[in-house]
Chains A and B, each alone.
Chain A
């Protein structure tokens, strides 16, 4: 028989102080309006009634007894499934600043229990490695004041764009030009690129908001921003629109959405900016993608050319490609041909010790339009925690090695390298991007930063939110549920895209002017870089400063 007040405990029984985020609720301010519990994306909080025993002892009259005081409050569930994710939506709707999550500064024990029923921990978001990155710590230390032409960021005109596509050596260019031979296509684009986020991983309002902002940057602000679609197709009306030229279409191992792209080719008004062939992703190298069935809405099913409500796996590898040479030859050539050899085609790989091997194959391939390397700090809609945290290669040294390899061959101006993975993860987007450019990148791709800056993504590097994988994004960025994504106004997203790129443009000038550079992007200008860490300086072949 049970004892009357048995309290049971299991190995996964946790208390509120074991959770990563602790809800602080002030009963003295709470007006019990219900908004916090209504908005919580994971139903982590609830109204609770508490009873407090108040002993009444009257010693003189020898009377004794208990009274009970009752009170209400908002409390958090302690089960793994309903643990607070720290998104802070409760605080955002509270009229009285009565509630909000605070990070648990003690160790939190949920990490030991995120594998209920043998299901390894999966999540969305980022690597959650906080603190300054290597990129954050790089300083632009070569300031021309009285030595070189002094430039003024506010006054001078700067050429900030980069080249996407294969650049021929001058003599070869002239020879082909005079002989009337094919010249590889190139695009002059802004070096900060919105990285691959699919229509599906992103909600319709988010994806279209981004593209609208990109169109605004190009057509109103004159900043030639491009964005990559990710794997998930592109709405036919967009494919047939004049905005296609701002889009890098992606083909990946799931081949989703390509039926509509191929059908739309005859009706395209313009060519896409480029084609990205995805072989790997920095956040989860060597792992595939999976769009969970509940995200495969009617719209997404139609767009991707699949039935509604099925899981959509993108395998870790392209199913019929068995080697770099084969991949590069088959896919780059086919996709170049699809657009009449007028569109640059380049592969995207995850940062890895084998990046140089891929690069050297591309150098020998006349159709390869560049290489995008995505480092370990990249984000994703869904991945195993272990893939996100521990698998991959940081971008800085990987990019640097590849660039110096090109330099050794004298080919650094021919095949552009693009870098991604943690650009702007602490907010220093222009500084991070320019550091990579000066380490040898021709441009950088940004994903998480764009979501945070342009759509208010609540994720941070301390494990906040991280629920992109289950379709409950409280901001409506990564959900296919109209009750959530309609929270996001595409015009607002577009406006923020415009704001962000205007500001990046200004900051680029603020970095370039002191370097005395205005007429070309300082790609590989590593003599202007320094870092206060001798080992990193040595590895990156830049100056150690202190």
Chain B
């Protein structure tokens, strides 16, 4: 298109009266003129939005603005438009420009290129704040460009999203800081070429500072002449072509920014370079706790980092049967031997604890052992009477050969016999001095044969007499002098004379009353006492029940037991008495006893031809040396003993009811205790009394066992049901459940013939202390201890 053909139209910004046209009217005139013009010369007078919607690529339009320009010059400029402002321009030059070239020969104020998406803005001076803000670049089109000859104001290129800025730093308004304060905040795209000093306050998280590479430099060189031509300063080309003076700020990519936010310095590096250097290059606790290892461990650890540790505490605790038995007979071991088919060994072991398994354990004992049997939580307690009775034919265990020591035992009742039994088994000669002409004390003298089978009893007495190292002297009444002789003759003297002096209450007519002890002794003899049809028994305990049973046997029709309190009788004795028809009355205080019977304090008569009193017996100790102290309690004198049975006379011991009244099994327990103690002393060995703790029921896992419908009537039935509390039954469950395979079983040499020849061990390097072994073990062997 030649110059001659160009149609130039001039539009004035004032009306004929010299008044300013509004932006709206001016725009209408400019638009009308542009429809038929190639070039417009605008004598503007501060009108806004000049250049909006004018020109196309098909019909390019040049607009020369010669008057003062208003705001938003080149606003929404179209491709094909060239807007040249001869002087300075106001705010927001190139606002939302999409393609026009906007040339300002002078300075421009704030907001140049705000939200510009295309075209070029070329400023021949400097610009104000917030230039190049919100600039966009649509990849379908060319990048928007902003050229500034001088400097830019503060907060430049905020949120720039693709625009290219070129700040030449020539004749800058602010030569000390050509990019203004804090440029590039929020900038996500585009580049800024600049030349000159800055305050280095650009946003580090948005832009990075480099020098233009070859391609970038070439880009600048290619376009620089056109900019300089546009603003009329071609002479600066050489000045601006020195590559070393140019720098480039380019947007940081999101990926790069993510890396920056992961920490300006990795913590490990800080720890090494700064942190430990602050302590002279070491751990800050090295002086307080030398060698302290604080390195990281996991939450599940083995070895020394566990807080608990399993222990295979086999046989450390006692089963309830063993614990509660006064003789501490290990019934669980016996049942284990039966399970293992070692029945004879089991009998022998039992006899090493008691001479009377059949008579006491199997018959008259209330069996403290099984009262606490754990098995009853599953179904029924182990029936220990089945076990006891099974032993009565067994031979006595072999005693150790005599060691040449001897002990005198005064009294051939259960306590004295047990003492003798344990002394004899240990090779000490035991000499029993019995006043009567038979052994067994009250067991033999007072318990009705209905309750204690004569055959069984005699079998056990015979077995007792067969034991080596035992000598019995019958018909030996004791005196103080005789005791002194025995003390000289024997290494020790043991008193086990029991209680053979009945207690009496001195109410009127008490002389008519027969002591139960006398009645029972007579009943078992060949000359029982005459018994009336109506019998009253004062004292309704178990002995009273035995009396009642004997009274019925000897002719009574009606037996009444009276007591001042609720009767203490229980178990087989009471059942037997009640089965025979005995009745119980309480509370009854006896006022007197007459020929008619017993008169209560309320005046009631209980008719009786025979009145028997059964309120207990006390020791009869006329022979007791003065060196032996007694305690007076409950109407009697009882010998004071220590934990071995030793009295205040070091050569004299006491066992059984003379210490305190108890069951036959308590007397046997006391005899075992003192017998073993004396044997240990005489052999110069250490006395090892029973000291195991009772296993806690919670330690067992009883859910492994299914309830049986019946408790069974053979030893094998009992053996099968035993829970083996506290004694490993070698079931391998621990080995099976251990999740880390830490537990294994290994053979060991047993300490004694009946000892355990295996053990389970847990490998510390595998165990994580889950406690499954302890939670699984049926017998309560595995325990978890703090560690």
Contacts and interface: CB of A to CB of B under 8 A. Distances in A.
B779 to A, nearest CB: 13
Contacts of A488: 296
Contacts of A302: 288-289
B350 to A, nearest CB: 25
Interface stretch (A166-174, A212-220, A330-338, A521-529): A212-220
Contacts of B278: 215, 241-243
Contact of B701 (A49, A155, A215): A49
A486 B299 contact: no
A43 interface: yes
B286 A47 contact: no
A514 B381 CA distance: 80
B680 to A, nearest CB: 37
Interface in B288-307: 288-289, 292-301, 305-307
B284 interface: yes
A237 B300 contact: no
Nearest to A222: B264
Nearest to B705: A51
Given A487-B296, A491-B268, A32 B737 contact: yes
Contacts of B38: none
A51 B705 CA distance: 8
A490 interface: yes
Interface stretch (B383-391, B506-514, B556-564, B764-772): B764-772
B263 interface: yes
B603 interface: no
Interface string A296-332: 0011001100000000000000000000000000000
Interface string A19-42: 000000000000011111111000
Contacts of B772: 32, 34, 37, 47
A326 to B, nearest CB: 34
Interface in A127-165: 154-155, 157
A10 B275 CA distance: 57
Nearest to A260: B288
A149 to B, nearest CB: 12
A1 interface: yes
B263 A46 contact: no
Interface residues of A, number: 63
Contacts of A70: 703-704
Chain B interface residue bracket vs A: 35 or more
A414 B188 CA distance: 44
A302 B158 CA distance: 57
B687 interface: no
A459 interface: no
Contact of B297 (A93, A157, A298, A486): A486
Interface in A442-485: 474, 481-485
Nearest to A32: B739
A343 interface: no
B279 A238 contact: yes
A266 B80 CA distance: 78
Given A154-B185, A490-B294, A219 B274 contact: yes
Given A32-B737, A154-B185, A299-B292, A237 B704 contact: no
Name the prevailing secondary structure of the A interface residues. helix
Contacts of A482: 292-294
A204 interface: yes
Contacts of B300: 35, 38-39, 93
A81 interface: no
Interface in B262-285: 263-265, 267-268, 270-271, 274-275, 278-280, 282, 284-285
Contacts of A238: 279, 284
B284 A235 contact: yes
Given A34-B739, A494-B271, A39 B284 contact: no
B380 A4 contact: yes
B371 interface: yes
A89 B289 contact: no
Interface in B683-717: 701, 703-707
B777 to A, nearest CB: 11
B222 interface: no
Contact of B305 (A47, A241, A483): A483
B270 A38 contact: no
B288 A47 contact: no
A495 interface: yes
A50 B771 CA distance: 17
A498 interface: yes
A48 B284 contact: no
B270 A220 contact: yes
A483 B770 contact: no
Contact of A216 (B267, B299, B775): B267
Contact of B186 (A48, A154, A481): A154
A103 B77 CA distance: 66
A414 to B, nearest CB: 33
Given A4-B380, A204-B285, A494 B371 contact: no
A75 B658 CA distance: 52
Contact of A155 (B185, B379, B570): B185
Given A51-B703, A241-B279, A38 B770 contact: yes
Given A37-B770, A299-B292, A498 B263 contact: yes
A212 B704 contact: no
A49 B776 contact: yes
A238 B275 CA distance: 10
B182 interface: yes
Nearest to B182: A157
Nearest to A220: B265
Given A4-B376, A5-B377, A39 B265 contact: no
B79 to A, nearest CB: 32
A2, A34, A491 — most chain B CB neighbours (10 Å): A34
Contacts of B210: none
Contacts of B379: 4
Contacts of A49: 701, 703-704, 775-776
A363 B53 CA distance: 68
Give the one of B158, B182, B275, B279 with max A CB within 10 A. Answer: B275
Nearest to B284: A237
Contact of B267 (A35, A51, A495): A495
Interface in A488-522: 488-491, 494-495, 498
B86 to A, nearest CB: 35
A227 to B, nearest CB: 14
A358 interface: no
B185 A216 contact: no
B377 A216 contact: no
A50 B702 CA distance: 9
Contact of A215 (B155, B274, B294, B377): B274
A121 interface: no
A498 B271 CA distance: 13
B707 to A, nearest CB: 8
Nearest to B294: A205
A239 to B, nearest CB: 10
Contacts of A155: 155, 158, 185-186
A77 to B, nearest CB: 10
Given A154-B185, A481-B307, 18 more contacts: A34-B771, A47-B770, A48-B703, A49-B704, A50-B703, A68-B707, A70-B704, A220-B264, A235-B284, A237-B282, A237-B285, A241-B279, A299-B292, A483-B305, A486-B294, A486-B295, A486-B305, A490-B294
Interface of B: 155, 158, 182, 185-186, 263-265, 267-268, 270-271, 274-275, 278-280, 282, 284-289, 292-301, 305-308, 371, 376-377, 379-381, 570, 701, 703-707, 737-740, 768-772, 775-776, 784
9 closest A-B pairs by CB:
A34-B770, A47-B775, A49-B703, A237-B284, A241-B278, A34-B739, A38-B770, A299-B289, A237-B279
21 contacts: A1-B371, A4-B376, A32-B772, A33-B770, A37-B770, A38-B770, A38-B771, A39-B300, A47-B737, A51-B706, A68-B707, A155-B185, A215-B270, A219-B274, A220-B263, A220-B265, A237-B279, A302-B289, A482-B292, A491-B267, A494-B275
